[in-house]
Chains A and B, each alone.
Chain A
């Protein structure tokens, strides 16, 4: 039996192959690495750290919500002047809410999720040696890291971090003296977000180019795993929407520091007097912000849906139901996400006709979302299901996607939204459909691709306990909030005990807080399992989940360039499970008919070079160039 050698021109990829045996220094390998696999680990670890901090903040403000009139000595020990007498300061409470939202939306569920898995899986699943620009990829991580440091440094500021909500609406964010957090804290927030946008753009551009330009032989678009489709569309969403947030942020910086009035007009500050700003409109900020803000929901959700598609197909041992429908649904969601931002602004006094348009296009998103949900269920139906932790988290995502998605239909309706806006109903909705669903997708991905990332297995029993505790606590925290919201309980309030009408919800708040602590404890279990498994987990086998996709054909030990020899070619789609003509219930993408892998060779393109023949210095060439230009000399 012979292995066929095919020729193809893969010059970009083979540039990396030459470096396979070159051992980089410690700094180049672990710190300023350009290897996509290492960068994915960097994104993941940073994302986990940010996630822990974000969750800790939520537990702190949940204590305030559950026991608003009590004092806790440990809070003063932990927060110092911001919790004098053991009670969180109202401004600091707002800061915690703000930074919790910012961290979870941008740093965990955007960079932590998309950054980790796009980096890990795009080159490995499309069959590329690395990203199109490994250097840009490295920059992407370090901009993200710098952004994280700048954001967290705002906790060291005397006036505290930004505290006008994660959306940092003006005028609170535009006037430096509006509230304590509006000063340096908001400046740092803006710097952090601009760094984050640069990171997201560098990463996103790389993801798109790698998928479009660097797929291996045979990897046509209709053979791409759904993870890659999701990452590709996510990157497109980021590419088109983050620059708009950058524009919004720049206007805000100009208003804060250069005396412009893009968002400000006719403001009177208590204790200071009338501001000179005139002619601006804070509503314009909302338009610009939500033009990013709504696609951001799908920037968070689509990667989780892609991961879920892959995990469900693998662990149900069935082809994904309706591959084309899944791709079309992803595309539809991505396109629609750009024309629905107004549903976040129904109460800003927009023209009712415009509101109606936004309402209808919002409700249309339910169609592709439902297609995805039914396809997940149809894939599970009569599957030979393996209840791995990854699979359980993927099924958990489907559950949250349904329960959170249904309340989205309520909120998309302008007439209902006017009542429910800024209430706990909204908090419940987006924490289920965006927060919990995406976090579950992220956990699913971690459990599934941990062997690929670290060459070891995570503990399944601990993983299962982690799932059940997290699943139960997420519903226990967010489900009751729907009823609070329907009763008119507003979000972002500091002390409900001051409002007698909301007294009946005090016990519910205690229940939610205790549930949140249960969820927090479950994450300690995950952290133990994760970090212990990195060092002491059972060694992974080549293809532990018997999966079809290309990443499992790469060696367990990471190589720069991914494959030791030639890149495997691809012969079929990613979901050929349980084929009746096969003994094995899976059929890897890179195997030919009888299971023999075929490789192709990609010779480096020979290019004419002048540099090696050139005897003249660059300076001489530079000056003689002008002589050539003005025809004094012939080439």
Chain B
């Protein structure tokens, strides 16, 4: 048989499988938070109808967290840019600063919960109206759990960058870190706005 030409119905290769995996995880996480938020709406509707829905100010620390997460995203992006430019010796430090910001975020969340407790708003509710506080705890805790995952990812990223395994030709891992970390930042800001305006 003479050489034949294969029709070039190639598989899409623009995204590595690992990048697609992280996007799909983001979709799954988004569905979880959508479930929480829709449950919040349902309860709020019932609560407002029965005059049993407590509106309260979100802790100042939660807003501080939003600032911290924005700063961390900035450094994450810088780390990614450094990898793109093959400025490989800057990557570990930039990822470390991102990690420190992440830890600061966790601490501010913790103080945010203390703030709520100081105001008598606990996870368990004594009055029907206080269920709004339960939602704030659960939603912020679920986001906190995601941040812990992000910190683990960053730690692995720092180790890899320190071994010079992250560079211009190998951006997959830092791309995963960047995507996930930005997602966490955007998610927190959206959740905060949701809890503020809803």
Interface residue ranges of B15-48 to A (CB < 8 Å): 15-18, 20-21, 24-25, 27-29, 31-32, 34-36, 38-39, 42-43, 46-47
| Contact B170–A243 (Cβ < 8 Å) | no
Q: Which of B107-115, B121-129, B178-186 contacts A (4 or more CB under 8 A)?
A: B121-129
The contact string, 1 if C-beta is below 8 Å from chain B, for chain A 585-614, is 000000011101010100000011111001
Q: Which residue of A has the minimal Cβ distance to B138?
A: A254
Q: State A61–B32 Cα separation when bound (angstroms).
A: 36
Interface residue ranges of A469-527 to B (CB < 8 Å): none
Q: Which of A451-459, A543-551, A616-624 contacts B (4 or more CB under 8 A)?
A: A616-624
Q: Which residue of A has the minimal Cβ distance to B131?
A: A279
Q: Which of A101-109, A165-173, A202-210, A310-318 contacts B (4 or more CB under 8 A)?
A: A202-210
| Contact A622–B12 (Cβ < 8 Å) | no
> Among A215, A280, A614, which residue has its beta carbon within 8 angstroms of that of B164?
A614
| Contact B162–A243 (Cβ < 8 Å) | no
| Contact B1–A1 (Cβ < 8 Å) | yes
Interface residue ranges of B69-83 to A (CB < 8 Å): none
| Contact A213–B12 (Cβ < 8 Å) | yes
Q: State A240–B27 Cα separation when bound (angstroms).
A: 7
> Among B4, B10, B125, which residue has its beta carbon within 8 angstroms of that of A592?
B4
The contact string, 1 if C-beta is below 8 Å from chain B, for chain A 228-263, is 000000000001111110111011001000111110
The number of inter-chain residue pairs (CB within 8 angstroms) is 202
B165 surroundings in chain A (CB, below 8 A):
610-611
B13 surroundings in chain A (CB, below 8 A):
9, 213
Instruction: Quote the shortest CB–CB distance from B123 to chain A (angstroms).
Output: 6
Q: State A220–B46 Cα separation when bound (angstroms).
A: 50
Interface residue ranges of B86-144 to A (CB < 8 Å): 87-94, 96, 123-131, 134, 138, 142
Q: A607-B170, A608-B167, A610-B164 are in contact. Are A625 and B92 (CB under 8 A)?
A: yes
Interface residue B6 (Cβ < 8 Å from any Cβ of A): yes
The contact string, 1 if C-beta is below 8 Å from chain A, for chain B 36-74, is 101100110011000010000000000000000000000
Number of interface residues, chain B, beta carbon within 8 A: 67
Q: State A261–B12 Cα separation when bound (angstroms).
A: 48
Instruction: Quote the shortest CB–CB distance from B54 to chain A (angstroms).
Output: 10
| Contact A213–B17 (Cβ < 8 Å) | yes
Q: Which residue of B has the minimal Cβ distance to A619?
A: B162
Instruction: Quote the shortest CB–CB distance from A208 to chain B (angstroms).
Output: 6
A99 surroundings in chain B (CB, below 8 A):
none
B163 surroundings in chain A (CB, below 8 A):
611, 614, 618, 621
Interface residue A100 (Cβ < 8 Å from any Cβ of B): no
Q: State A247–B86 Cα separation when bound (angstroms).
A: 42
| Contact B89–A608 (Cβ < 8 Å) | no
Instruction: Quote the shortest CB–CB distance from B80 to chain A (angstroms).
Output: 14
Interface residue A558 (Cβ < 8 Å from any Cβ of B): no
The contact string, 1 if C-beta is below 8 Å from chain A, for chain B 150-174, is 0000000011011111011110000
Q: State A609–B7 Cα separation when bound (angstroms).
A: 34
Q: State A242–B35 Cα separation when bound (angstroms).
A: 11
Interface residue A8 (Cβ < 8 Å from any Cβ of B): yes
A247 surroundings in chain B (CB, below 8 A):
32, 35-36, 39
Q: A279-B125, A284-B39 are in contact. Are A218 and B9 (CB under 8 A)?
A: yes
Instruction: Quote the shortest CB–CB distance from B6 to chain A (angstroms).
Output: 6
B25 surroundings in chain A (CB, below 8 A):
201, 205
Interface residue A307 (Cβ < 8 Å from any Cβ of B): no
Q: State A247–B35 Cα separation when bound (angstroms).
A: 6
> Among A291, A593, A594, A621, which residue has its beta carbon within 8 angstroms of that of B162?
A621
> Among A4, A239, A594, A633, which residue has its beta carbon within 8 angstroms of that of B3?
A4
A214 surroundings in chain B (CB, below 8 A):
11, 17
| Contact B10–A8 (Cβ < 8 Å) | yes
| Contact B93–A625 (Cβ < 8 Å) | yes
| Contact B6–A600 (Cβ < 8 Å) | yes
Q: A614-B164, A621-B164 are in contact. Are A209 and B35 (CB under 8 A)?
A: no
Interface residue A217 (Cβ < 8 Å from any Cβ of B): yes
> Among B1, B7, B93, which residue has its beta carbon within 8 angstroms of that of A628?
B93
Q: State A250–B138 Cα separation when bound (angstroms).
A: 9
Q: State A6–B38 Cα separation when bound (angstroms).
A: 52
Q: Which residue of B has the minimal Cβ distance to A605?
A: B169
Interface residue A78 (Cβ < 8 Å from any Cβ of B): no
| Contact A624–B43 (Cβ < 8 Å) | no
Q: A201-B28, A239-B24, A279-B127 are in contact. Are A210 and B35 (CB under 8 A)?
A: no
Q: State A273–B159 Cα separation when bound (angstroms).
A: 57
| Contact A284–B162 (Cβ < 8 Å) | no
| Contact B42–A254 (Cβ < 8 Å) | no
Q: Which residue of A has the minimal Cβ distance to B37?
A: A247
| Contact A132–B21 (Cβ < 8 Å) | yes
| Contact A262–B128 (Cβ < 8 Å) | no
Interface residue A84 (Cβ < 8 Å from any Cβ of B): no
Q: Which residue of A has the minimal Cβ distance to B45?
A: A281
Instruction: Quote the shortest CB–CB distance from A10 to chain B (angstroms).
Output: 8
Q: State A262–B136 Cα separation when bound (angstroms).
A: 12
Q: Which residue of B has the minimal Cβ distance to A633?
A: B89
> Among A8, A243, A610, which residue has its beta carbon within 8 angstroms of that of B35?
A243
Q: State A464–B43 Cα separation when bound (angstroms).
A: 55
B87 surroundings in chain A (CB, below 8 A):
628, 635
Q: List 9 A-B contacts (CB under 8 A).
A: A1-B1, A2-B2, A209-B24, A213-B13, A214-B11, A217-B11, A244-B31, A247-B39, A279-B128
Given contacts A209-B24, A220-B9, A244-B34, 14 further A-B contacts (CB under 8 A): A201-B28, A209-B21, A217-B10, A243-B32, A243-B35, A254-B138, A261-B125, A262-B134, A278-B128, A281-B42, A592-B1, A594-B1, A618-B163, A626-B93
Which 7 interchain pairs have the tightest Cβ spacing?
A: A259-B124, A279-B128, A247-B35, A132-B17, A220-B9, A243-B31, A628-B89
